[in-house]
Structure formats: C-alpha cells, structure tokens
Amino acid sequence: MTEMTDFQKKITENLPEITLRLHEPMAKHTSFRIGGPAHVMAFPKNESELAQILQVSDLLDIDWVILGAGTNVLAPDEGLDRLVICLKDCMDGIEQLDDTTIRVAAGVTMTRAAVFAANLGLSGMEFAHGIPGTVGGGVYMNAGAYGGEIKDICTAVSVMDRKGNIRRVSGEQMGFSYRHSILEETGQIVVAAEFTLEKADAAAVKERMQELAEKRRASQPLNLPSAGSAFKRPAGGYAAALIDQNGLKGFQVGGAAISEKHAGFVVNLGGASAQDVKTLLTQVSDRVFENTGIRLEPEVRIW
Ligand SMILES: Cc1cc2nc3c(=O)[nH]c(=O)nc-3n(C[C@H](O)[C@H](O)[C@H](O)COP(=O)(O)OP(=O)(O)OC[C@H]3O[C@@H](n4cnc5c(N)ncnc54)[C@H](O)[C@@H]3O)c2cc1C
C-alpha cells in the first residue's frame, strides 16, 4: 500500500467520521474521464459533515476545492494535492415547500430535480433535464440550455461560508449572469437551492423534456466523454459556428478532438490527457482569433 503523505495523515486523523478516499483518480469523477489522483477526496453526507470538514480545513490551513458531478471540470494529469470535497449524491434530498417551489440539495442531479418538478406538474425546469451536473454546480455556473437558465427559476440559495456557517440568500443576490454567479468571487458553497416554477400539465412538461432530450441526442456527441460546450458563447456569435467556419471540426491533439458532430464540444477519443485538451483549446482559440478577431474563452473550469 502507498504510504500516506503528511497531508493525508493530517486529514484522516482529524476527520475520523467522514468518508474519505486516498489517491482517488479524478478521471473516475469527471465526465471527460481525465485527471490524476486527488490526494484525499471527502464525501460529506450532510450539511453538518460539510461544515466539520471546512472548520478542520480552516484550522489546519488545508486547501480544498468543491466537486459536483465533474461535468464542467478539466482535472490535471499530475493529480491534486488538495482536499477535493465531492458533493454529488452525498448532499441529497428534494422537498416541495409550497404549491410552486421546490428545495433541492446541492448534490442532487439537475435531471433528478427536473423529473421531480415534472411529476408535481411544475414547469420551468425542463431545460435543465439534460444538463448532466448537480444542482450545486448548476447554480454556481448559472447553467442553461434551450433558452432557459438557472437564474430564471432560482429564487433562493442556501450557501455555506469557509467557516461552515449557512446563510440563505435570494436569487437576486446571486449575481447571476451568463455562466456565472457571485459564488465565483465569494468562494461560498451551495448547499441547497430553491426553484420557483409554474403550475402546468405534468404530461406536457414531460413531453417538452423528451423533445429537448431528442434534440440533444441528435446534435451532441453524447457517446464520447466530454465536458459539454468547451468554450463560452462569445459576444455576437456562437463558438461552435466559429470553430466550424474555421475548418476545425475533427481537429485533434493527442486523444482530444473537436467533435465531428458538434464543433462546440471537445471530446476524449480515448486516452486524452488534460494537457492534450489544454493545448487543443489554446490552438483552436488562437486560430479563431487570427481569422476573426474574436477570442474564445474556455467554459470548462481548468483546475
Ligand atoms: C454532455 C454534456 C452536456 C452539457 N450541457 C450543458 C448545457 O446544456 N448547459 C450548461 O450550462 N452546461 C452543460 N454542461 C456542463 C455542465 O454539466 C454544467 O456546467 C453543470 O452545471 C456543472 O455541474 P457539476 O455538478 O458537474 O459541476 P462540476 O463540474 O463538478 O464543477 C463545476 C464548477 O462548479 C463548482 N461547484 C460545483 N458544485 C458546487 C457547489 N455545490 N457549490 C459551489 N461550487 C460548486 C466547482 O468547484 C467547479 O468550479 C454539459 C456537460 C456535458 C458533459
């Protein structure tokens, strides 16, 4: 067995009750299927365990990062010597608060939350059904698709600060803009979000979700590992169209390539490294900039 580093000892000795995994491959937890081992990964089951992890980290000066479903993260090949706190499936629970509002824990997938809303005959979350991340990641990123965005439906968020204190903030206070929320600046963690929806016919809501799922299947390379759209939408255009117009469909660096099916997606053809993806992103962005003067910025979070 590999010997424990001081960093690993410090965490395991101080958090004996928390589920921890050592040398956990990030590739197992990211939709790109890329990333070396996290020295320690923690799986808090609830808010109190998460608070405990943050308090111990604060006391011992341990650097941490939050992971949802890993569907918008490019993790480094060499691994991470930080504590990775994984919330997917750990911070669980959905409840109906009133006729039109549901409260969803951060680790629940957006698909599950959308299905829950549909079963109650609530409309507004259909767009989120095919986004493969967690509610925490979706709120952090202000995820969106097919004309809908988290900011349209999110009326309140429970956030935890670095000391483990929870505060409920309104949707307006979240500073939502395109693929951005104020959490990028504050470093707070989403523990749950409230979505206010509209009463509708459950069958119609489900039909709309089916329709969007079919659109996705027809246009996106869902059979290959990726992190969805690799670039943010630039002002006045679409990243996929610019990449396609510059003849970059299929452009490949190592095991990473611009999808032949959807030029906005970078896919892992097998054995791609994080370095392959980063080089590809830079080369594509440079080529588009040289030809159009438009600079494409990565949407995927590069750790
Ligand atoms: C096939 C495919 C299709 C996609 N389609 C779309 C789409 O249509 N629209 C869209 O917007 N995105 C899309 N994505 C990207 C991705 O699913 C979203 O950005 C999603 O919101 C990320 O959620 P996550 O839980 O996977 O976050 P992660 O990838 O785990 O993390 C992303 C960022 O959020 C932070 N974070 C995660 N959870 C929390 C939390 N609880 N509190 C604070 N910070 C947190 C992380 O630290 C990280 O910086 C797609 C991805 C794939 C693979």
Q: Where are the domains of the chain?
A: 6-86, 94-206, 221-302
88-113 pLDDT per residue, tens = 988 999 999 999 999 999 999 999 99
On the 0-12 / 13-18 / 19+ scale of CB atoms within 10 A, 57 is buried
Calculate how far, in angstroms, residue 289's C-alpha sits from the geometric centre of ligand 1.
26
Listed as ranges, residues in the chain with pLDDT below 70 are 1-3
Nearest CA to ligand 1 atom 50: 228
Q: What is the dihedral of CA 152, 197, 189, 164, to 10 degrees?
A: 140
From the CA of 138, give the closest atom in ligand 1.
21
Query: How high is the mean pLDDT of the chain?
Result: 95
Q: Is 91 in the pocket of ligand 1 (CB under 6 A)?
A: no
Nearest-angstrom CA–CA distance, 28 and 75: 11
pLDDT at position 1: 46
Considering the domain 6-86, what is its CATH architecture?
2-Layer Sandwich (3.30)
What three-state secondary structure class fits 81? strand
Active site residues: 179, 229, 299
Calculate how far, in angstroms, residue 133's C-alpha sits from the geometric centre of ligand 1.
5
pLDDT at position 122: 98
Q: Give yes or no for a contact between 285 and 242, defined as CB atoms under 8 angstroms apart.
A: no
Q: Is 139 in the pocket of ligand 1 (CB under 6 A)?
A: no
Q: Is there a common fold for 94-206 and 221-302? A: no
User: What token pair was written down for 29?
Assistant: 């937890």
pLDDT at position 26: 98
From the CA of 72, give the closest atom in ligand 1.
29
Q: Which CATH code is given to the segment(s) 94-206?
A: 3.30.465.10
CATH 3.10.129.10 fits 221-302, yes or no: no
CB burial string 68-106: b at 16+ within 10 A, e below: bbbbbbbbbbebbebbbbbbbebbeebeeeeebbbbbbb
Nearest-angstrom CA–CA distance, 132 and 220: 13
User: What token pair was written down for 107?
Assistant: 């680790």
If you write DSSP's letter for every residue of 1-20 in order, what string do you get? -PPPPHHHHHHHHH-TTSEE
Q: Is 144 in the pocket of ligand 1 (CB under 6 A)?
A: yes
Calculate how far, in angstroms, residue 72's C-alpha sits from the geometric centre of ligand 1.
4
Strand spans (E) along the chain: 19-25, 37-43, 64-67, 73-74, 80-86, 94-96, 101-105, 122-123, 144-145, 148-149, 154-160, 166-170, 189-196, 198-199, 226-229, 252-253, 256-258, 265-268, 301-302
pLDDT at position 208: 97
Nearest-angstrom CA–CA distance, 205 and 117: 9
Residue 151 region, left (φ>0) first, then alpha (ψ -120 to 50), else beta? alpha
30-44 pLDDT per residue, tens = 999 999 999 999 999
Nearest-angstrom CA–CA distance, 271 and 108: 29
pLDDT at position 3: 67
pLDDT at position 2: 59
Q: Give yes or no for a contact between 259 and 267, defined as CB atoms under 8 angstroms apart.
A: yes
